[in-house]
Amino acid sequence: MTSPTETPNESSPTETPPEAGPSIEGLRPARSLLLVNTGDGKGKSTAAFGTLIRAVARGWPTAVVQFLKSGDWHVGEQDVAEQLGVAWHAIGEGFTWDSDDLSEDQAVAQEAWRVARELIEGGEHRLVVLDEITYPITWGWIPLAEVVAVLGGRPDRTSVIVTGRDCPPEIIEVADTVTEMRKVKHAFDAGIVAKKGIDY
């Protein structure tokens, strides 16, 4: 318990609370947005799925294409999303270091991109999440120029979220909002395995 002469926070304030909000004068509405969650920190997919839930709450038709996780992984987000009517496509083959045949993994990634492209160009979904698509792009399994063209030429009402490390600058260039997750500390580095309910 603090004494009458003590303050709960003994450190000096570094800034004062803002007294006015940012000006919205001159801002324009967008029919759709391209968002990118990249960087080496945790939370890229998690943030995308949070936005997905927001879109579902607005009554938007939504879809997810997962480029690494397969249907065998049975992640918790998928269960909830499907109950909410999200079209969920887990088409990946898992971690490359567990693979017996990388050429098969490449073919699966290309199939995932085919599905994703159809979902985007079809224009029926207001939000499409391309989860971990940056990895097969970086590996040369999916043509970057084609991805950029599809993202840049998406239908007016179809927003897209791209997740994954090392997002190519060409995608960042056409994106509207780019967030880089920076790792400050991660439980895995301290020898702690992924926890169900937190990590998947």
User: How does pLDDT run across 54-110, given as a tens digit for each residue?
Assistant: 999 999 999 999 998 665 666 788 999 999 999 999 987 544 444 455 667 788 899
**Full-model pTM:** 0.85
Of 117, 79, 109, 77, the residue nearest 93 (C-alpha): 109
Has residue 45 got a pLDDT over 80? yes
Q: Cα-flanking dihedrals φ and ψ of residue 144, to 5°? A: -60, -45
User: How does pLDDT run across 132-176, given as a tens digit for each residue?
Assistant: 999 999 999 999 999 999 999 999 999 999 999 999 999 999 999
Q: Cα-flanking dihedrals φ and ψ of residue 65, to 5°? A: -120, 120
Q: Cα-flanking dihedrals φ and ψ of residue 159, to 5°? A: -90, 155
Complete domains list, the chain, with CATH: 34-161+172-190 (3.40.50.300)
Q: Which helix (H) or strand (E) holds 83?
A: helix 76-83
| CA distances, 41 to each of 47, 51, 182 (Å) | 12, 18, 4
- Predicted local confidence at residue 174, as pLDDT: 98
User: How does pLDDT run across 164-186, given as a tens digit for each residue?
Assistant: 999 999 999 999 999 999 999 99
Contact 1, 126 (CB under 8 A): no
> Which sign does the torsion angle of CA 179, 188, 92, 110 carry?
positive
- Sequence letter at residue 59: G
